[in-house]
Structure 1
Amino acid sequence: MKAVVKTKRTKGMEFVEVPTPKMGPGDVIIKVRIASICGTDVHIYDWTRWAQHRFTPPRIIGHEFVGNVLKMGEEVTRVKVGDRVSAESHLTCGYCYQCANGYSEVCRNFKLLGVDHDGTFAEFLVLPEHVLWKNDEKIPDEWATIQEPFGNAVDTVLAEDISAKTVLILGAGPIGLFAAGIARACGASLIIISDPNNYRLAIGKKMGAHIVINPRKQDVTQIALEATKNNGVDVVLEFSGNNQALNQGLKVITPGGRISILGIYERRVNIDLNKEVIFKKIRIYGITGRKVFSTWYKTSRFLSSELVDPSPIITHQFSLKDYEKGMKLMKDGKCGKVILTV
């Protein structure tokens, strides 16, 4: 089969022919229909500091997809041939302390699809049955493939109630843009997005943002405080992984507010814990992955009901062999979500 493989510990990837994967008794073989590019895939492509410490070639990359069950192992009972599926990208053990206590998203022994287990940028994919998600027939393939990152946004936004709250979103990458649509659907009274990319800020307006800010040209703190009558925002959603943005967010949270952090930082961050967290009684949520599978149910309902329409965010589509075009757009920031047909 054809696949996109990170073959060497250097920048770049290769579109090559590899053996079709074999399955075990509890596995299924899936014919991939559409995969989508994540920021993690770009880190692996660019061989960033994070990738060098986390990823070991050779490996087929990718963890977002929609496809059909092609063949099943003899112990598989929950899906059948032809089912249209996506999957939780955290391949969990099911028996560690975290899994046993309902926190499988932070399983001690998890393997990450496309990092520790061959991924979705391929014609065929083998996965254990327990991570599969059967897709609602109302959700088109182009939306089904983005459920995994959409779930990140769901958990970041809904770590607490957001109805009638004022919200600042830091970072207008695809997940930040999903978050804007989710916050709007859940009744946030004011949504502000800050990002230096005007292309993505324009998408943010389409997704329901009331105010968009380019921090290279405008004062985030001043605008957010003016928009909230100097009270500050109730909620900050941090997707940027930028230390300066994090500090701006903490500065404009109203005392007693909360911040949810999904952004990944290349370096250690510096924040004034006394002034911006402790004496303001801020609640901080670290977000990783999705709650398995409760977040998937929420994601499916947001999309199948069209409470959130992600179409403005899905800006480009290429064939799998043209994956480098998508990688370039992602690095240049001239896109929303890029999907790849297989």
Structure 2
Amino acid sequence: MKTLVLENPKAFKFQEQEAPASLEADEALVKIKNIGICGTDYHAFRGKQPFFSYPRVLGHELGGEVVKLGGNTNTINLGDKVTIEPYLNCGRCQSCLNDKGNCCENLQVLGVHVDGGMTEYLKVPYHKLHKSKILSFEQLAMVEPLSIGAHAVQRAEVSAKDLVLVIGAGPIGLSVVQFTKLRGSTVLVLDINKDRLKFARQQMQVDFILEATEDFSPDIIRRCLNGFLPTVIFDATGNPNSMKNAFSYVSFGGKLVFVGLFIGEVTFDDPLFHRREITLLASRNSLPQDFSDIIKLMETGKIDITPWLTHRADFDDLPHVFNEWLDPTTRVIKAVVSM
């Protein structure tokens, strides 16, 4: 089977590998149909992804078809269209036992810690497959990135009364916007990229867009919110300066959620943190229920990811176009690959 391997930073190579010959009783063989390209993939390509080693087969935003079953199951059938939950948790550690498999102590994520879906066939445990009779393979490949935002919003317990600031209008920031809007919140988006801000305004219908400039201050936010500050802030940038600055934007008694991450330390002013009684949260990956909920929302038309899919490529062309997608002038919101 044809497999695309990232041998080293900026060095893709196609290889012919043996297709999985045998399956455990609880495993299915999935023919990969579509692959979403994630910020994690871009970071890995650049050599800047935490918890990562080379060589690695990327790809964890996946839509595919079940073509073989390892044993009897009442949940999955041959021919099912599925998305893959790429978080392979151990089920035995304290986190797993507390229903927090998304931050399992021994977590292995497809395409990050172990080889992922940039290949023709992938074997996956039954309980990591989520099916739909309605959604396309392309739509199914978008469930995982949406789940990151869904989990972050759930972590923050966002409600309709909240004033929400999303910092970073990339795909993960937009997924946060999607679920805060579903909860009826007032939403502001802050970014340095004017094209992405325009997209957030026109396609996501956020209430306010704010351009991040060198002289940006909390007063600019207050002018949008009648003198108030956001009660919930999501930083989806993975930028240390942005994450540090976010502490000064949070309302008294508010919440700050770090969805993005970087290799390094975050520092903040402790008196400001205590005086405002800020709640600081990290959000990592998502939970099985997030996948099920998102599929239902997409099937009923409450979520439409069509405007997000700005760039497409065939699998054979991916090594040639991948570097182009890193160029901001290409205006990529979300890219998807067809097998």
Q: Does TM, scored on the shorter chain, surpass 0.5?
A: yes
Does structure 1 residue 213 correspond to structure 2 residue 183? no
- Paired residues for 1:285-300 under 5 Å: 285-291=281-287, 293-300=288-295
Contact 1:191 1:208 survives alignment (8 Å): no
In structure 2, C-alpha distance between the alignment counterparts of 1:23 and 1:230, rounded to whole Å: 63
Which structure 2 residue ranges, 5 or more long, are not aligned? none
Contact 2:81 2:137 survives alignment (8 Å): no
Pick the aligned partner of 2:198 from 195, 202, 217. 202
Tell me by how many angstroms 1:265 deviates: 1.8
**What whole-Å deviation, never above 9, does each CA across 1:130-154 have from its counterpart, x for those lacking one?**
211122x333332211111100101
Secondary structure of the 2:297 match is helix
Equivalent residue for 2:188?
192
Which structure 1 residue ranges, 5 or more long, are not aligned? none
**What whole-Å deviation, never above 9, does each CA across 1:40-83 have from its counterpart, x for those lacking one?**
111221222x35xx333333211111111011113555311101
Q: Give the TM-score normalised by the residue count of structure 1.
A: 0.91
Equivalent residue for 2:311?
316
Contact 2:158 2:180 survives alignment (8 Å): no
Equivalent residue for 1:222?
219
Q: CA 1:220 to 1:176, structure 2 compared with 1: closer, same or farther past 3 Å?
A: farther
Q: CA 1:59 to 1:19, structure 2 compared with 1: closer, same or farther past 3 Å?
A: farther
Secondary structure of the 1:99 match is helix
Does structure 1 residue 40 correspond to structure 2 residue 40? yes
2:305 corresponds to which letter in structure 1? P
Does structure 1 residue 4 correspond to structure 2 residue 1? no
Does structure 1 residue 270 correspond to structure 2 residue 267? yes
Which range is displaced more, 200-209 or 19-28?
19-28
Tell me by how many angstroms 1:162 deviates: 2.4
Secondary structure of the 1:255 match is coil
Q: CA 1:67 to 1:254, structure 2 compared with 1: closer, same or farther past 3 Å?
A: same
Pick the aligned partner of 2:276 from 273, 280, 303. 280
Q: Give the TM-score normalised by the residue count of structure 2.
A: 0.92
In structure 2, C-alpha distance between the alignment counterparts of 1:220 and 1:30, rounded to whole Å: 49
Equivalent residue for 2:168?
171
In structure 2, C-alpha distance between the alignment counterparts of 1:287 and 1:330, rounded to whole Å: 26
Q: CA 1:39 to 1:139, structure 2 compared with 1: closer, same or farther past 3 Å?
A: same
How many matched pairs? 334
Secondary structure of the 1:59 match is coil
Contact 1:155 1:290 survives alignment (8 Å): yes
In structure 1, C-alpha distance between the alignment counterparts of 2:260 and 2:235, rounded to whole Å: 6
- Paired residues for 1:59-70 under 5 Å: 59-70=56-67
Contact 1:220 1:248 survives alignment (8 Å): no
Contact 1:153 1:178 survives alignment (8 Å): yes
In structure 2, C-alpha distance between the alignment counterparts of 1:236 and 1:329, rounded to whole Å: 31
In structure 1, C-alpha distance between the alignment counterparts of 2:159 and 2:54, rounded to whole Å: 41
Pick the aligned partner of 2:137 from 105, 124, 141. 141
- Paired residues for 1:49-88 under 5 Å: 50=49, 54-74=51-71, 76-88=73-85
2:46 corresponds to which letter in structure 1? D
In structure 2, C-alpha distance between the alignment counterparts of 1:183 and 1:77, rounded to whole Å: 35
Tell me by how many angstroms 1:218 deviates: 6.5
Does structure 1 residue 332 correspond to structure 2 residue 315? no
Contact 1:88 1:133 survives alignment (8 Å): yes
Does structure 1 residue 237 correspond to structure 2 residue 237? no
Contact 2:4 2:119 survives alignment (8 Å): yes
Query: Identity percentage over the alignment?
Result: 25
In structure 2, C-alpha distance between the alignment counterparts of 1:22 and 1:195, rounded to whole Å: 47
Tell me by how many angstroms 1:326 deviates: 4.7
In structure 2, C-alpha distance between the alignment counterparts of 1:266 and 1:117, rounded to whole Å: 20
Contact 2:151 2:286 survives alignment (8 Å): yes
Tell me by how many angstroms 1:104 deviates: 0.9
Contact 1:149 1:175 survives alignment (8 Å): yes
Superposed structure 1 runs of 4+ greater than 6 Å apart: none
Secondary structure of the 1:133 match is strand
Pick the aligned partner of 1:181 from 178, 189, 195. 178
Equivalent residue for 1:20?
19
Secondary structure of the 1:233 match is coil
RMSD over aligned Cα atoms: 1.9
2:148 corresponds to which letter in structure 1? N
Q: CA 1:325 to 1:281, structure 2 compared with 1: closer, same or farther past 3 Å?
A: farther
Q: CA 1:306 to 1:326, structure 2 compared with 1: closer, same or farther past 3 Å?
A: farther
Q: CA 1:132 to 1:220, structure 2 compared with 1: closer, same or farther past 3 Å?
A: farther
**What whole-Å deviation, never above 9, does each CA across 1:73-117 have from its counterpart, x for those lacking one?**
135553111011111111111122221121111112221101233
